Structure 1
Amino acid sequence: MTPTLQDVAMLLDLSITGDAVGPRVVPFTWLEDLEERFAGVATTIDPEDFNEHPQSKGPSKSWLLQFQPDLLAADADDYSVTRSLEAYLLWLFGYIMFNNSHGHCADRVLLPYAQEIADADEDAIPLYSWGSAVLACTYRGLCKASRQNDRNAVLTWCPILLQLWSYERIAIGRPMIDQSPYTQDMYGDTKGDRPTIGTLWYSQQVWTQ
């Protein structure tokens, strides 16, 4: 018994069709390019409060968090909103979907994907098989973890996938769920707002003691 593409699609609602996700060649000037791209973003905070510089392996989490949507200026322009989206995508990729051994930063190979999606028109967003990439990353992380003897080893996979998969497949240790049916107005009327199985686990769970 192991997670499959069907599990990824049902639990996380990630696409399992589209172009493959893989390493890209990132120019050695990626750090300068990143800082220049975000230099004009208008936020409500003092940049000195987030003076941790992006690390050599990728932008750090604390650097990305200064571009959260709720920290944007009230009169932020479209460019600032776009860069905020790019920062969110880097956080999503680096800390949820593809956890890495760096720990404190998102891998720089994810930079082109985040920028490409953020800059694309709404009707021209590139389609990638994110579900396949997450599953492959999880398999690789599990394989590495099974061969490591270091107690302080960092696990590199998508932990939320394994957690939700275990809830669905293994009865022991999972939370009890409120079985009352959900109504459409709880999640909106559009197809994109419909809940995934993962959403239902997190929104209707009753944790056992």
Structure 2
Amino acid sequence: MYRVLRGRVNSVGFLPDERLIPYLELAGFVSAALIQTFDLRYNLISALVERWRPETHTFHFPCGECTITLEDVALQLGLPIDGNVVTGVSLISRPATLCYELLGHSPSEGKFTGLRFSWLKANFEHLSSTANEREVMQAARSYIMHLIGGVLMPDANDSMVHLMYLPLLSNLHNTRSYSWGSAVLAMLYRELCRTTDPSTMDIGGCLILLQLWALYRMPFLASISHQSYIFPLIHR
């Protein structure tokens, strides 16, 4: 019997306010923000995992090997694939100060390392009709943070996004100078490798990228991936 994996996905759940669009575009995230995921087909995703080989970072099919590339990331998500490496400090000494400066709110005055998606949604889902430019930019940063942690690079902390990404959004003009696409692809590769362990029951990483890639590169799957026989078809 084949396992069907659970996904570590936490969609934003609402489209960005139209006033955020110029800032999302400036930062390089507008295409990803406008993708409405979430008809994720976990039977298809699980079948693909069964064909993943960590030693080559490729899917092994009867017809040969293939894999997701940076070109696919740019095509499907519109994220920058050139530029600086996405890195961040794992421990921020004054997290509340950082949040007040870049988001206008903070979930705590003490030490914390991440922002809960529920907190981001409660504070930024509804943008005031009188919001000034600074407040619109803060809402754009919040939306990008939710995208990063919930859709593009979800990890074991599936209820929150790590604070280390927030400093990279301080100047939205510079945000797109980072190769976000490379970071997304690297995490997806890592999750595919991790889930080859048969005892693993969930998968993180950008699952919408995995699904879009499969349906784009193998379009015949679109008509059958809701069916139970996806497993024997992929494995034939």
TM-score interval (norm. to shorter): 0.5 to 0.7
Give the CA deviation at 1:24. 2.8
- The 3 A distance-change label for structure 1 pair 74 and 4 is same
Q: Give the residue type in structure 2 aligned to 1:64.
A: L
Q: Which residue number corresponds to residue 202 of structure 1?
A: none
The TM-score with structure 2 as length reference comes to 0.59
Partner of 2:16: none
Q: Report the equivalent of 1:27.
A: 92
Task: Give the C-alpha shift of residue 114 in structure 1.
Answer: 2.5
- The code of the aligned residue for 2:99 comes to L
Q: Residue 215 of structure 2 aligns with which residue?
A: 167
Q: Deviations over 1:61-80 (max 9, x none)?
A: 011113436x1221112221
How does 1:40-79 map onto structure 2 within 5 Å?
56-68=112-124, 71-79=126-134
CA 132–150 in structure 1, closer or farther in 2 if over 3 Å, else same:
closer
Which of 194, 199, 222 aligns to 1:144? It is: 194
Q: 5+ residue gaps in structure 2? A: 1-65, 228-236
On the 8 A contact 1:16/1:131 being kept in 2, the answer is yes
Q: Which residue, out of 62, 66, 80, partners 1:15?
A: 80
- Runs of 4+ off more than 3 Å: 35-41, 51-57
**Contact 1:15–1:129 (Cα < 8 Å) also in 2:** yes
Aligned partner (choices 166, 177, 180) of residue 127 of structure 1: 177
Instruction: For residue 102 of structure 1, report the CA deviation from its aligned partner.
Output: 0.4
In angstroms, what is the RMSD of aligned CA positions?
A: 3.1
- SS at 1:59 equivalent: strand
Residues 40, 9 of structure 1: alpha-carbon distance in 2 compared, 3 angstrom cutoff: closer
1:19 partner SS:
coil
Residue 38 of structure 1 and its aligned partner are, at CA, apart by: 4.0
Q: Is the 8 A contact 2:191 2:205 kept in 1?
A: yes
Q: Do the aligned residues in 1 keep the contact of 2:102 with 2:141 (CA within 8 Å)?
A: no
Task: Give yes or no for contact 1:57–1:102 (8 Å, CA) kept in 2.
Answer: no
With over 3 angstroms needed to count, the CA separation of the structure-2 counterparts of 1:147 and 1:23, relative to structure 1, is farther
Change (3 A) 1:59 1:40: closer
Equivalent-residue separation in structure 2 for 1:112 and 1:157 (angstroms): 21
Measured at CA, do residues 53 and 59 of structure 1 come closer, stay the same or move farther in structure 2, by a change above 3 Å? farther
Q: Which has the higher strand share?
A: 2
**Which deviates further from its counterpart, 94-103 or 17-26?**
17-26
Aligned to 1:103: 158
What are structure 1's unaligned runs of at least 5 residues? 42-50, 177-206
Displacement, 1:132?
A: 1.2
CA distance in 2, matches of 1:168, 1:129: 23
Q: Secondary structure at the match of 1:146?
A: coil
